[in-house]
Structure 1
Amino acid sequence: MPIVARDIPVFREVAGGSAFYFTGEAPGDLASSLKTWLGLYHERRHPGTDQLHWLTWQESAEQIKKFLFRENILCRQLLVDVSELVQKDAKSGIQRVVRSILSEWLNHPPAGYRVEPVYATEDQEYRYARRFTHRFLNSPDETLPDEPVACAQGDIFFGLDFQPHVVFAQRTFYQALRRQGVRVQFAVYDLLSVMLPQHFPAWATDEFARWLEVVAESDGAVCISRTVANELACWLKENESTRHASLKIDWFHLGADVEHSVPTTGLPDDAKQVLDQLNARLSFLIISTLEPRKGHHQVLEAFEQLWQSGMDVNLVIVGKQGWLVEQMVKKIRLHPELDRRLFWLDGISDEYLEKVYAASTCLIAASEGEGFGLFLIEAARHGLPIIARDLPVFREVAGNHAFYYNGSEPQSLANALWRWIELYRQGEAPKSEGMPRLTWEQSAGQLLKAVLE
């Protein structure tokens, strides 16, 4: 059938040279064009439609499918699990890592990916954390729905946060993702509860072991140090039946610039008084949740020996109460030196911690096991000297920029403290300023490279 069409771009696009076109808005314009077309028609010189290209609905649907697939490939999803942070900021080392990495990824998403924070509970499916994300980026919008996650081939799921009970409960979800062509990977912060079970409640060790089973059947594990990566490889070798053949193990290092970690703020009323007391004498700082493996018992008894021998120094403990330390907590709260030369700063903000770092003389890393030791590089950023237990992971992070000691008895640490103080007064104690360290931007980049490769 011949076509007479108004001369507009879309008709030209569809009909090309297979239509007779007219212009003008008045009825006479169309009448004149029709008269011309009729003359051409009677002479068999009017444009024919036999060369007009058209699609079947099947072909049209195929075009749409190809377009949608291409768009999906060009902007895939990087689903970032923040199930703990959505509920609360526990102000732990892991939560600082989660805040810092998430901030960098949201503000500098990888090319071809849309970063989507997600969360789940033990009995609720994964959802997009839209409301949380807007609050996190300081643009709250409570009207946004947290819809169920929808995935496609080529997406990536990365378990950045740490909620082992949720991960185990969502095990079938991860398996379904992998069948869809979604890569599933997890951050591994340490293996301490299965390597040092005597320092953890039995339920925590069992829960962590179940979490490791889920990690082992995923596509990848990215550890926060080379030491943890080696420990994970050894654990998997000993538990080979649970490991998926495609599991890739990688590692990265953490950042140190607190100002880019979405820091918490706020100072208590007595902050100035405490800081003045710390500045008044040599102050030794230990930063970690009170747990059996962290070495608080050894540190406190070593300082009691120093105080008894006449050494006038401060011990500053920063960290909240953990598990299996009830007697230790009772001893601190009833200690005669509390708030005189012994200070326990429980659950303080990053803003206050920065000031405590600045007022302290030396950091003590007495833990019997760590995944990284974020406090080491934070201390180095402040130029704070470090006394550290001689652990492989501390050697990996601090190298020759720390003073190391061995032994689990209070006397061994007390001797190390006497020796360090002597070296410090002579200007010969190891300095932390030259310790290699990353910004959170660099750390997030390292992690992203491991996740995407």
Structure 2
Amino acid sequence: MTIYIDGSHTFCTSRNTGIERVVRKLASNLELISAEQNNEPARRVIHHSGRFAILTKGIEEQLTRVAAFEANPADQVPKVLRRLFELSTGLIRNRKWRKLVLPEPSHLGIYKLPYQIAKFAVTRKSLGRAEKVQWREGDLLVLPDAYWTRRDVWASVKAVRDCGAKVVTVFYDLIPLTHVEFVGGRRSEKFRHYVEQLLMNSDQVLAISKSVQQQLIEYVNENWGADDRCCRRIDSFPLGADVQVTDGTIRSEVRAYFESDGGRDGGAPYLVVGSLDPRKNHQQVVKAFEYLKRQGSPRRLCFIGRAGGLSGPLLDLMSTSSIYPSHLKHFSDLSDSELQYAYRNCEAVIMPSIVEGFGLPIVEALWYGANLLASDIPIHREVGGEHCTYFPLHEPENLARCLLAAERGRGVISTPYTPTTWKESTEAFLKISKAA
């Protein structure tokens, strides 16, 4: 048996959060485990032109160059042109214009077409000549990526199963169906089609938490009845949390904000990690810190994450808030080294989400030994257990009182935590998938 892990989206992008992090960690640990057990090497693959192509080091290097363009597209243009764009944002004081000409990391703006042309040229040249997988009975194809963005993959997956190989798909959440208000009707319908294809073309589905597993089982029972085209083997596995320690430069502005005396005796800032998205509920945290400021507290707040497409109201709230800019900072482009520095030097991590599939910042924060406050939702209870202090949703003053209690040295739980490593997570994934 050969294990193949697809990363058709992830292996072509510079992003390394959420789903992309899961894909990369599963891939590297599947390779490690297969080598340790002297099995056939696990292989990385990408779907291209109706086939799965094997990803070699050479192809990966070419895709990495394209990903670097996506990471910071404005850095790829001549300095004179970039300077003109910078000057234009001073004349045209419009957020949409700035997002177009000087997009944040991993956003493309006006560079979308050049990026797509470059990506098409590289993938056509490199993957067009790549070795195609010759599927055998008993092979395992792992599908852990964002397939709602790549709907052309399913016909090829069906062909893989017709060859006798087994298909295991990783499932992250049902949020676009259960909370349409956070994604919009169009994206929700697109996601519904993805779930339908996933259920019809998988031998087994592995959810990233027991909560998501139960939600998907209920969804299948309600929407598929006795339809035998639907996959009924729905299990879950634990995500890992070990983050590779990296040595890198910490920018002075990051270091300065996280130094205790940077807040004039207010201590280190509280930290919220995750994309700026309505379901992440950053608004409650901003309002809680506004309340703290009115009470005379010098505590500061730091958001780390990219601005999502629906983040406009939050950005407006942040820019007009009474705590901005002295008590509120937003970093959208931290390196792994800087993110680790933030986890290690914050007062505590706040996870205020309304809904999550898992919540990686919880286990990452606990991995670094940070104190943690999380909104009281089932998935946070599952992941954080007794290691978190929980607060109710939509009650900023209640959260503020939790933070005030923390200032007095009580109220925030900090108990020893032994995380699941990514290797242990991958071993559990393999054990469950082989048992099916």
| TM-score scaled by length of structure 1 | 0.74
Partner of 2:142: 158
Partner of 1:4: none
Q: Pick from 125, 128, 142 the counterpart of residue 54 of structure 2.
A: 128
Q: Pick from 275, 291, 306 the counterpart of residue 258 of structure 2.
A: 275
Shift of 1:330: 3.2
Confirm whether residue 213 of structure 1 aligns to residue 187 of structure 2: no
Aligned-partner Cα distance in 2 for 1:384–1:275? 14
Shift of 1:227: 0.6
Shift of 1:204: 2.2
Partner of 1:313: 299
Contact persistence 1:86–1:129 (CA under 8 A):
no
SS in 2 for 1:302: helix
Confirm whether residue 117 of structure 1 aligns to residue 44 of structure 2: yes
Partner of 2:326: 340
Question: Do the aligned partners of residues 429 and 330 (structure 1) sit closer, same or farther apart at CA in structure 2, a change above 3 Å counting?
Answer: closer
SS in 2 for 1:270: helix
Partner of 1:255: 240
Partner of 1:16: none
Confirm whether residue 94 of structure 1 aligns to residue 77 of structure 2: no
Aligned-partner Cα distance in 1 for 2:50–2:239? 31
Q: Pick from 210, 216, 219 the counterpart of residue 226 of structure 1.
A: 210
Contact persistence 1:227–1:392 (CA under 8 A):
yes
Deviations 1:250-309 (A, max 9, x none): 11111121117xx69654452322222369524211111111100011211221121122
Any residues of structure 2 matched to 1:303-452 within 5 Å, and which?
A: 303-333=289-319, 335=321, 337-408=323-394, 412-423=395-406, 425-431=408-414, 433-452=415-434
Deviations 1:168-192 (A, max 9, x none): 2222211121121111121111111
Shift of 1:143: 8.8
Aligned-partner Cα distance in 2 for 1:249–1:378? 26
Shift of 1:133: 7.4
SS in 2 for 1:384: coil
Aligned-partner Cα distance in 2 for 1:180–1:444? 25
Shift of 1:246: 4.9
Aligned-partner Cα distance in 1 for 2:276–2:433? 32
SS in 2 for 1:239: helix
Q: Which runs of 5+ in 1 are unaligned?
A: 1-75
Aligned-partner Cα distance in 1 for 2:370–2:314? 27
Q: Pick from 182, 198, 205 the counterpart of residue 199 of structure 1.
A: 182
Question: Do the aligned partners of residues 86 and 264 (structure 1) sit closer, same or farther apart at CA in structure 2, a change above 3 Å counting?
Answer: farther
Shift of 1:316: 0.7
Aligned-partner Cα distance in 1 for 2:236–2:59? 26
One-letter amino acid matched to 1:96: R
Shift of 1:243: 6.3
One-letter amino acid matched to 1:104: N
Number of residue equivalences: 366
One-letter amino acid matched to 1:116: R
Contact persistence 1:253–1:443 (CA under 8 A):
yes
Deviations 1:320-379 (A, max 9, x none): 011212122233245564442101010312211110011111111110111111111111
SS in 1 for 2:386: coil
Aligned-partner Cα distance in 1 for 2:46–2:16? 18
Shift of 1:194: 0.9
Aligned-partner Cα distance in 2 for 1:445–1:309? 50
Root-mean-square deviation (CA, aligned residues, Å) is: 2.6
SS in 2 for 1:344: strand
Aligned-partner Cα distance in 1 for 2:411–2:307? 35
Shift of 1:452: 2.3
Shift of 1:415: 2.2
Contact persistence 2:139–2:165 (CA under 8 A):
yes
SS in 2 for 1:324: coil
SS in 2 for 1:152: coil
Question: Do the aligned partners of residues 328 and 423 (structure 1) sit closer, same or farther apart at CA in structure 2, a change above 3 Å counting?
Answer: closer
Q: Which runs of 5+ in 2 are unaligned?
A: 65-124
Deviations 1:33-63 (A, max 9, x none): xxxxxxxxxxxxxxxxxxxxxxxxxxxxxxx
Aligned-partner Cα distance in 2 for 1:371–1:293? 11
Partner of 2:130: 146
Question: Do the aligned partners of residues 238 and 393 (structure 1) sit closer, same or farther apart at CA in structure 2, a change above 3 Å counting?
Answer: same
Question: Do the aligned partners of residues 303 and 420 (structure 1) sit closer, same or farther apart at CA in structure 2, a change above 3 Å counting?
Answer: closer
Partner of 2:281: 295
Partner of 1:84: 9
One-letter amino acid matched to 1:429: V
Partner of 1:9: none
Aligned-partner Cα distance in 2 for 1:179–1:370? 35
SS in 1 for 2:135: coil
Question: Do the aligned partners of residues 235 and 401 (structure 1) sit closer, same or farther apart at CA in structure 2, a change above 3 Å counting?
Answer: same
Q: Percent of aligned pairs with the same residue?
A: 24
